[in-house]
Amino acid sequence: MASPAPVLLLIDLQQGLLEAPADWGPRSNPKLTENVAHLLQTWRSRSWPVLHVYHDELEEPDNPLQVKFPETFKAHSCSAPLPSEPQFIKHQGSGFVGTKLQEELEKLEKEGKRKIVVIGMDGSQCVNNTVRNGADLGFKFVVAADACACYGMEDWRTGKQLGAEETWEAAMGVLTSFAKIVETEKVLATLGYE
């Protein structure tokens, strides 16, 4: 028997992050947009709840993820929200800080929608922050790893640039203590729907 309808939580799937400035370097996971669109279509075709979180950066004046830059702040075409899908704007790494996301998830949980599938950007930053914060609040997560992506980062000790794929692998590895990490094709089976 299938479990109650799961929630799909999209994090920071914004034009300015998926199509970032060249100086950010390459993004991991070339199939990101395809996997995001597939999961979103799956949820919508079953009338399951979909929630969107967007980042509005207040501290970096040139960051493209700001409401004042509507073309880069907006949702990427692979993840454009429907009017009926709740949207939350955050100013911190976690989607729970300064938003009503926790209240919305608690409301859905009371309706029996307990499992939360997370997809989005950047896997090493806001996806990680949101899942870890949410796990501390008692929420249960499944992360579709190949519907998440990262940019590279600098090694704190050596200053060496770590590649986007290496950063993504590490970010997903960190989350194994806080969520079930699976690939897109395994999400429904993990939830008990196949």
* This prediction's pTM: 0.94
In-domain check, residue 74: yes
Distance CA 27, CA 167 (A): 10
- Whether 154 maps to a domain, the answer reads yes
Q: What is the pLDDT of residue 25?
A: 84
Report whether 127 contacts 28 (CB < 8 A): no
The per-residue pLDDT for 91 is 95
Q: Is residue 71 one of the residues assigned to a domain?
A: yes
CATH number, domain containing residue 127: 3.40.50.850
Q: Is residue 75 part of a domain?
A: yes
- Is 2 part of any domain? no
Task: Let me know if residue 174 belongs to a domain.
Answer: yes
Give me the DSSP letters along 40-107. HHHHHHTT--EEEEEE--SS-TT-S-STTSHHHHSBPGGGPPPTTS-EEEESSSSTTTTSSHHHHHHH
Structure tokens at 188: 């429904």
> Residue 78 — pLDDT band, cuts 50, 70, 90?
very high
Look at the chain and report how many structural domains it folds into: 1
Q: Give domain status of residue 1, yes or no.
A: no
Q: What is the pLDDT of residues 116-133, one digit of tens each?
A: 999 999 988 999 999 999
Q: Which domain holds residue 177?
A: 7-191
Q: Indicate whether 1 pLDDT > 70.
A: no
Q: What residues pair up with 121 in beta bridges, in sequence order? A: none
Q: State the average pLDDT for the chain.
A: 93
Query: What's the length of the chain?
Result: 194
Please, which pLDDT band fits residue 168 given cuts at 50, 70 and 90? Answer: very high
Q: 3-class DSSP state for residue 190? A: helix
116 belongs to a structural domain: yes
* 3-class DSSP state of 155: coil
DSSP string, 78-89: GGPPPTTS-EEE
Amino acid symbol at 101: L
